[in-house]
Amino acid sequence: MPTESGSCSTARQAKQKRKSHSLSIRRTNSSEQERTGLPREMLEGQDSKLPSSVRSTLLELFGQIEREFENLYIENLELRREIDTLNERLAGEGQAIDGAELSKGQLKTKASHSTSQLSQKLKTTYKASTSKIVSSFKTTTSRAICQLVKEYIGHRDGIWDVSVARTQPVVLGTASADHTALLWSIETGRCLVKYAGHMGSVNSIKFHPSEQLALTASGDQTAHIWRYVVQLPTPQPVADTSQQISGEDEIECSDKDEPDIDGDVSSDCPTVRVPLTSLKSHQGVVIAADWLVGGKQVVTASWDRTANLYDVETSELVHSLTGHDQELTHCCTHPTQRLVVTSSRDTTFRLWDFRDPSIHSVNVFQGHTDTVTSAVFTVGDNVVSGSDDRTVKVWDLKNMRSPIATIRTDSAINRINVCVGQKIIALPHDNRQVRLFDMSGVRLARLPRSSRQGHRRMVCCSAWSEDHPMCNLFTCGFDRQAIGWNINIPALLQEK
């Protein structure tokens, strides 16, 4: 009887061992599936007083939690493998440098530095994953805290900017690609004044701090200052829209779902066609403009890579602010000091200081990897910047080397706005979402968006109105409408 060679016998034994090991794995996995599937079947089969829709929602949420933790566990394993690989590589380098051993202290320092970086990455990943899980539970509660109050429909094209008057009567202003700017009654949603003096898209609108004057920037390479006179209509009872939200908050909407506009809503309101002042020094699109504190000067930002400072009374160019390498995207002024911040497609934003008439200093902030879409001041010495790199960063003007907080999102950021009194940041996104964060980067809420309410296309801008009793946040977008929201800030901060 022929006998097997030693090598063949060893190979057969190894094959049988692998086969038995794979079978044991299958048995283990199947038993684990049976164990995990049993409670779900029992849960679905047992009597419960909860409605079926609520139970299915809970099961889905628990499934999301399980998937999030599973992904996090896999990422943790990969990071641990990276740490082990890095330690081995560092140990190898320590023996090979100039044929001499690297001192244990140096090796320990390098290893600890690399490990700390990976630990920070692990913490960031964990924070991002857990925030997604927590946001699943915040969906229903944020609906009660953030309620849609009024829709302002009347533009013929997308709305680029929204602003609230700082003096009485308090009105809402919108700037649109349809070459017009409209002023609205916040309470009734009625159009009060139409400005039709521009020959191109109206890209921004800002109100004078103490007079009934508006400043608009346009694609016709000019910025206009124009006066308005409005009389507020009698407010009508506001319908409660909180009950109109469907159970599913993330319903995709097509362009057919956009609000229908039968005729020009703004055709019945008074029209202003001639500005008081036209500022014409730019050689490209004027993308934004704002009033300096006191309202005696204005600053404009243009695609010609410059920002200009003008005297309102004489319309003369006071300073041309140069230095950006690409087109400017936004400009903003400090509420109480003569400071200006400009943002650009060159991935930077710059701080211009005009407090000393003889010295005009500039500081450059570098921290984004893509277009900086906007940068705005907050109370104190902070600036918040948003970018197409899907991050928002909070900066301390006294230390501009690195941000004090970073918010990472899943979509590009458009023109942000900060509620100065409560230090809440509103982030409008390309993906039609509007999210609220605090200054430390903690997510507070997301504005409701469904088939019945919310924006149906990209949200371009937001504006806070801290003193208005009806609406304290306004948003606008490419769906040709502006929306007024009532944010219950005390409840929002208490949930935090």
List, for residues 258-303, the tens digit of each pLDDT value. Answer: 555 545 666 678 999 999 999 999 999 999 999 999 999 999 999 9
Cβ(473)–Cβ(463) under 8 Å? yes
The pLDDT value given to residue 143: 59
The pLDDT value given to residue 32: 42
Instruction: Give the number of other Cβ atoms within 10 Å of residue 293's Cβ.
Output: 15
Dist. CA 150–CA 477, nearest whole Å: 15
Q: Is the pLDDT of residue 468 over 50?
A: yes
The pLDDT value given to residue 123: 52
Cβ(172)–Cβ(164) under 8 Å? yes
Query: Which strand (E) or helix (H) includes residue 495?
Result: helix 489-495
Structure tokens that stand for 299 in this block: 């600053």
Q: What is the mean pLDDT of residues 109-113?
A: 48
> Which range among 15-29, 164-178, 190-204, 205-219 shows the weakest confidence by mean pLDDT?
15-29
Helix (H, G, I), strand (E, B) or coil at 346: coil
Query: For residues 124 and 101, which has the higher predicted lDDT (pLDDT)?
Result: 124
The pLDDT value given to residue 13: 57
The pLDDT value given to residue 79: 85
pLDDT digits over 227-266, tens only?
A: 999 988 765 555 444 444 333 344 444 444 555 554 566 6
In terms of average pLDDT, the best of 7-11, 27-31, 77-81, 156-160 is 156-160
pLDDT band at 478 (very low <50, low <70, confident <90, very high): very high
Instruction: End-to-end CA distance of the chain: give it in Å, rounded.
Output: 80
Q: What is the mean pLDDT of residues 454-467?
A: 89
pLDDT band at 50 (very low <50, low <70, confident <90, very high): confident
pLDDT band at 133 (very low <50, low <70, confident <90, very high): very low
Q: What is the mean pLDDT of residues 77-98?
A: 72
The pLDDT value given to residue 110: 46
The pLDDT value given to residue 47: 65
The angle subtended at Cα 140 by Cα 159 and Cα 424, nearest 5°, is 55
The pLDDT value given to residue 258: 52
Query: For residues 72 and 299, which has the higher predicted lDDT (pLDDT)?
Result: 299
Q: Is the pLDDT of residue 64 over 60?
A: yes
The pLDDT value given to residue 70: 85
Q: Is the pLDDT of residue 220 over 80?
A: yes
The pLDDT value given to residue 221: 97
Q: What is the mean pLDDT of residues 382-411?
A: 93
Handedness of CA 133, 135, 136, 141 (dihedral sign): positive
DSSP 144-180: HHEEEEEEEE--SS-EEEEEE-SSSSP-EEEEETTS-
The pLDDT value given to residue 255: 45
The pLDDT value given to residue 139: 46
Q: What is the mean pLDDT of residues 308-328?
A: 96
**Which segments of 46-156 does DSSP mark as H helices, in order?**
52-96, 104-145
Dist. CA 76–CA 473, nearest whole Å: 40
Q: How far is CA 274 from the centre of its chain?
A: 36
DSSP 236-264: PPPP--GGG--S-S-----GGGSPP--S-
Dist. CA 81–CA 94, nearest whole Å: 20
Cβ(432)–Cβ(457) under 8 Å? yes
DSSP 427-458: EEBTTS-EEEEETTS-EEEE----SSSS-SS-
The pLDDT value given to residue 256: 44
Query: Which strand (E) or helix (H) includes residue 224?
Result: strand 223-227
Dist. CA 333–CA 291, nearest whole Å: 7
pLDDT digits over 421-445, tens only?
A: 888 999 999 999 999 999 999 999 9
Is-above-0.75 flag for pTM?
no
Dist. CA 392–CA 256, nearest whole Å: 32
pLDDT digits over 1-16, tens only?
A: 444 445 555 555 555 5
Cβ(353)–Cβ(341) under 8 Å? no
Cβ(225)–Cβ(275) under 8 Å? yes
The pLDDT value given to residue 496: 60
Q: What is the mean pLDDT of residues 319-345?
A: 96
The pLDDT value given to residue 447: 93
Structure tokens that stand for 55 in this block: 């139970």
